Chains A and B, each alone.
Chain A
Amino acid sequence: MEITCINCPVGCLLQVEMAGGKVLSVSGQVCKRGEIYAHQECVNPTRMITAVVPVAGSQMPLSVKTEQPIPKQDINKCMAELAAVQVEAPVRMGEVIIRNVCDSGVNIIATKEIARTV
């Protein structure tokens, strides 16, 4: 099958040969990361998630991200956990907002500073 490598803007078109749920060969990549991506994507696709959550004590919402990519199938669960989270200003960049989101072993952290404004 054919997939697009999403690791960088070049967006190489990769040809992946598979059998029995295993990757046999990958071609079309310009660099090594394309091959690693193909193995990951065809077996257990993952994504980085970024989002904004409201903050008590600030007019500005807080932007957050998963520290590592999480399994693609967990995206909705991850967003549901984020929708329920309560955050209070001030927040430091890098502060953990949710520990071990949907049991993925990955934390959600703040990607900006929020000062108290209200």
Chain B
Amino acid sequence: MRHFSREVDVLIVGGGPAGLGAAIAVKENGIDNLLVLERANFLGGILGQCIHNGFGLHRFGEELTGPEYAQRDIDRVKELGIEIQTETMVLSVGEDLVVSAVSSKNGMQLIKAKAIILAMGCRERPRGALGTPGTRCAGIYSAGTAQQFVNLEGYMPGKRVVILGSGDIGLIMARRMTLQGAKVLACVELMPYSSGLNRNIVQCLQDYDIPLYLSHTVIDIKGKDRLTGVTIAKVDDNRQPIPGSEKDLECDTLLLSVGLIPENELSQGAGVDLSPLTSGPVVDDSFQTSIPGIFTCGNVLHVHDLVDYVSEESFKAGRSAAQYIKGLLPPADTVQVLDGEGVRGTVPQRIRLGQEESIALMFRPSGVFRNAVCTVTSGGRQIARKRAQIFTPGEMVTINLKKEEVAALSDSVTVSIERSK
């Protein structure tokens, strides 16, 4: 028999907003034997470096900065007396719910859990995944790494900056670098629309007269040791550079803001089914993965725009894990949730039959749809509908299924976006 360092009811991997929210819900639902493992030496995950405001409007009704938002959950976790080990890195999660972790304080630990909640967050797409041509000189960073340098280490990575990609972190960093004294020359986006929020385009670019080049890309990177400049060009409908449209920009720093991917090495190791669309685990509406007893929430499940929704999701996942421990979450038959026209990567992918609770379905539109309607159908019947002025890939859409509709389900569910006539 294997010897375990300890046994817990619920083990939570990651102490970001998702892990903290899940821990709070587990405890508040009556399970006391729980443990949170976090590899950093602080709690709150990526929020610590998001020093701008705009967090918590939905959850707290006020605009907080990232560190302020995180502190509220940290305070609550401490108040509830939840045990947390920081500087503890989880190395593996087994199908048998055995977790191995390492820290300098406790060495190697082998922990047996009755339920596990995966809340490892996401990380940025690296440059390699993009295939930008040119030299491999210094001065090229992901926007999140630059955010970490400036906001957590107080170090400015450069003076003249070009940003490739218009994701929110890139937009936020355009403003941050400008405010901290750098010159941001341009934000360059391959697509004909930005993947960032409109409010960030206004308050991060327009406020500081930073031009946004849509349908443009970086075609050359110059510099031997340190970056000295980039060449940008307009692209055609097939995203190919248009000859003659090149423009040289002299800069010492290039920030890449080209999207986030869930961090799922641990999930993969456990043998949890992953979705190729979200890059996160496949879950049912209780946020349980394909392995009984393993739950997940937050950016490791799918990339969220707003931390408020991460918290909301984590409360549900934590409550489910507590119910599972109490034997109140029996295995159930499920129906599939399918992506229809205009929809990509709906979460959850499965809905349990024979229950009566409203369910939120979340997805990203596959393109830009103006004045359109999102519908959910099952067995040839429309069971939910939502109209919006605009649906864009930059903003996650949530559509709720009423509990009566959930109770009546017997067939698979399809989510689609229709252009209204």
Contact = CB atoms under 8 A, between A and B. Distances in A.
Given A51-B180, A52-B180, A79-B179, A4 B199 contact: yes
A112 B51 CA distance: 9
B410 interface: no
A93 interface: yes
Majority-rule SS of A interface residues: loop
B200 to A, nearest CB: 8
Contacts of B63: 48
A65 B53 contact: yes
A54 B65 contact: no
B282 to A, nearest CB: 27
Interface in B145-194: 150-154, 179-181
Given A4-B198, A50-B52, A9 B65 contact: no
Contacts of A93: 67-68, 71
Nearest to B71: A93
Contact of B154 (A3, A60, A79): A60
Contact of A54 (B154, B199, B203): B154
A57 interface: no
B203 A63 contact: no
A9 B53 contact: no
Interface in A14-36: none
B53 A52 contact: no
B199 A8 contact: yes
Interface in B286-345: 305-306
Given A48-B53, A49-B179, A52-B51, A9 B154 contact: no
Contacts of A112: 48, 51, 67-68, 71
Interface residues of A, number: 30
A43 interface: no
B305 A52 contact: no
A6 B206 CA distance: 12
B197 interface: yes
A116 interface: no
Contacts of B179: 49, 51, 75, 79
B57 interface: yes
A65 B154 contact: no
Contacts of A4: 198-199, 201-202
Contact of A60 (B152, B197, B202): B152
A63 B153 contact: no
A7 B57 CA distance: 9
Given A54-B154, A63-B151, A112-B48, 16 more contacts: A6-B198, A6-B202, A9-B197, A9-B305, A11-B197, A50-B52, A50-B65, A52-B154, A52-B180, A59-B153, A60-B152, A93-B71, A111-B67, A112-B67, A112-B71, A113-B71
24 contacts: A4-B202, A5-B199, A6-B199, A6-B202, A7-B199, A8-B199, A11-B198, A11-B199, A47-B203, A47-B207, A49-B179, A50-B53, A52-B151, A52-B154, A61-B151, A61-B154, A63-B65, A63-B67, A65-B53, A93-B67, A111-B51, A111-B67, A112-B67, A112-B68
